Structure formats: C-alpha cells, structure tokens
Chains A and B, each alone.
Chain A
C-alpha cells in the first residue's frame, strides 16, 4: 500500500508548454486566476567574458509546480480549523466545508500551492486527482505532458527510480515542509542563483 504519494518533475525535459497547467485547470474546472499547477519560467544570465571572448551565460528553464503533499504540511499545521488534512496515502486535502477562508495557509505554504477560490470563498489546491488515482488512473497533469516530464507514484519508489533531489532554484529549502517531490534538475539550475535568475512570468503563475 502507498504511504506517501509524490510527484516527479524532470526540469531537463520540460519545454514550458504548460499542457499540465491547462489539463489541471480543465479537469478541475478552475476559475480564471485559480491555478493548482503552475509552470514557472526561470530566466537570467546574459553574456560572460571568458578570456578575450564573450560567451552567452543564459539561464533558461521551467519548473512545473503543484502542491507537494508534504510530509510536514505546514499549511495544515497552521490552519486554525483543521480544514487541511492528510489521507493515509499521503495526499493532502482541503475540506472546503470546514475552511473559514482566513487565507493563513496561503502564507504558510512556501510553494504557494493554496489558491483562493471565490466560488467557494475558501482556499483550494491540487488534490492529486485522487478520484483518478483511486480508479487506477493518473493525475491529469502527468497524463497530459507531451514530454513525459511529470510522473507520480509512491515517493519511496520515485526516489529509487529518479534519485532524491528535492530542490532547484527557485524552490524553497525542502526541510521546511518535507515535500513529496523528486526533481531531475536542468543543467542551468546550479548556476541560476549566481546569475541572478528570476521567475520571468509572474503574471501567469
């Protein structure tokens, strides 16, 4: 039995097409402005002088991010109403009947996974497409990716298959929430910070 579901994201494979973002919106019928999965475009660098020549030092890659169904879900630990809870298989849910809409969890989650939904006047977030999973299927984002940059499964299995990297720029320190996430980093990620990279598409995420 799965004790902790998790996502795998291959930053080296992601082309930034945002099919995952749109598949998530479509499947969950999300209002404009509510995004459970977002694709961040990370960009930075420019030109670097090496000896007598100028060479490009551009940083450019994408990070697809949803709720990471953390093993230490600070969102739920901070929620005053216990509206955020963790299922036996590790999936973290928001109970919209219990949520009072105080939006504190939105601040607490460093992945900005919780989004205010004006239809219910509560927060909402990725539920791992639990109905599809329970029926033996896959989350919409994973199924939609044309580059197979996303995968899901038991976190222990994902780690065996893909390693144990959990952070690339600009994700927060994973010790804060213990995210159920495995990443294959893009080659530019290691030098993103020193090249002053930034998210380039804030209006989209």
Chain B
C-alpha cells in the first residue's frame, strides 16, 4: 500500500489543482476593471501560479510511479482506448492553457475576452483531466473501484481542498463552501467506503489477493477530516468577512487545510491498498 505514494501524491496534487482552479478561479473569471468580488489582478495571478505549480509537481511526481521515465512520451499513443493516455493528455492541455492564461493576465488584462476564453477552455481541460482520472479506475474488472465512491471522492477531494485554499485568499463564502465540501466528503467516506475500514476486504470471487490495509487507517482518516471540519467552522466564526482582517481566521484555515489534506492522503492510501497486486 505505501509503495503507491507517487500515485497518491499525483492524484491529490492534480485534483487539488483542478479544484483550486475551478473554485478560486471563478472570481478571476468575473474579474473586470472594478475588481469583481474584491479580486485584484495579483490575487488572480497568485491563484494561477499555484495551480500551475501543483500541476507541474503532479507531473513530476508521476515519474516516480513509472519504471521507464525516459519512455514516458509514448504514454500518449493510446488515446483511442486508454483512460490513462487520456488523463495524461488532458493534464498536459490543462498545464498549457493555465500557462497561457498567466501570460495573458500578466501581460494583457484579465478582463480581455481572450483571457476569459482561455480560462473557460482551461476549466474544461481541468474537468476532463479529473474525469479521466476517475474513469481510469472505474473498470468493470475492478469491482472495488467501479463504484460511486470513486467519482464522488475524487471530485470532493478537488473541491474541498480547492475551496479551503480559496477561503485562505478570500475568506467568506469560500470557507462556507469548503465546509460543505468537507462535510460531504466525510459523509460519503462514512457511507460508501465501509470496505476501506475492513482488514482483508475484497469482493469474491476473485483471483486478486486480499488487501493488506491496516484497520486503524479508516477511522484515523475520518477523525482527521472531522477535526479539519471543526477548524473550518472556527475559521468562519473568527475570520468573518475577509479572512485577512483577522489573522486568527487564517491560522485556523491553515490548520484545517493540513488536517483535511492528511485525511485525503490517508483515504487515498486506503483506496490503492484495497487492490493488491500479486508478486513484487
């Protein structure tokens, strides 16, 4: 299970990039001369830079997962039938469009029609990247992953981490949004991933060996997310309005982010741990 750390890191970083772009990028899309929803161009650029940084980090981390990184280029050749090829393709398109948007917002204007067009195209690429990431685990031959939990948890990882990060910049409505997403994530983990808590769980009949998932990880993951949820509530109370006004709100948010992220990482290790690969 632990040996899947590059995949855990890749999927979480990639999903966070998508979520941050979609949630925090929304005010950027609305940005006009009058600083829509209080957004400055610098804040917009900061959002785009973080998204790009996360995507590049995700791409680099994925190299630790493959055993012939120098052949990585050929992973795009089977777009016709492989969701893995599609995932890589859409990630590259997403990276390119975010980079173009940075150049446009920096050099031209966030309010230009062109940068808004690029923003919408990048959002679409990000969504397709997330969908391919979900779909590649939902094969008929993988009953443990081919369930509602996979799309829901991947999407909620993106949205909750993205919304907390947006809350850090803009506070207010974004903290409320992150509360809703994290709560939803906890509910689906509790209801739809009970197998994650059961040692040696797997569907039978199967030629796949039983999963070797430590039993304590499922409750630990729920506890971490619940603690993060409580801190988000605290951040909402202490950092009313724009979080920047009360430093307290920001500190709560950083702690909440760390706890929710720890919950997501644990949940993702469990996810991969469920499907053991026989042999080495």
Contact = CB atoms under 8 A, between A and B. Distances in A.
Contacts of B96: none
B140 A121 contact: no
B279 A34 contact: yes
Contact of A110 (B67, B75, B78, B207): B207
B53 to A, nearest CB: 24
Contacts of A109: 141
Interface stretch (A21-29, A53-61, A73-81, A134-142): A73-81
A34 to B, nearest CB: 6
B205 A81 contact: no
B66 interface: yes
A200 interface: no
B68 A198 contact: no
A100 B278 contact: no
Interface string A148-191: 00000000000000000000011110001100000000000000
- Chief secondary structure at chain A's binding surface: loop
B77 A172 contact: no
Contacts of B77: 80-82
Interface of A: 33-35, 40, 65, 74, 77-82, 98-104, 106-112, 115-116, 118, 121-122, 169-172, 176-177, 192-193, 198-199, 202, 205
Interface of B: 65-69, 71-72, 74-78, 81-85, 88, 136, 139-142, 204-210, 275, 277-280
28 contacts: A34-B280, A78-B81, A78-B136, A78-B139, A79-B82, A80-B76, A80-B85, A81-B75, A81-B78, A98-B74, A99-B71, A100-B69, A100-B72, A112-B207, A112-B277, A115-B278, A115-B279, A115-B280, A116-B280, A122-B67, A122-B68, A170-B204, A170-B207, A171-B205, A172-B207, A193-B204, A198-B204, A205-B209
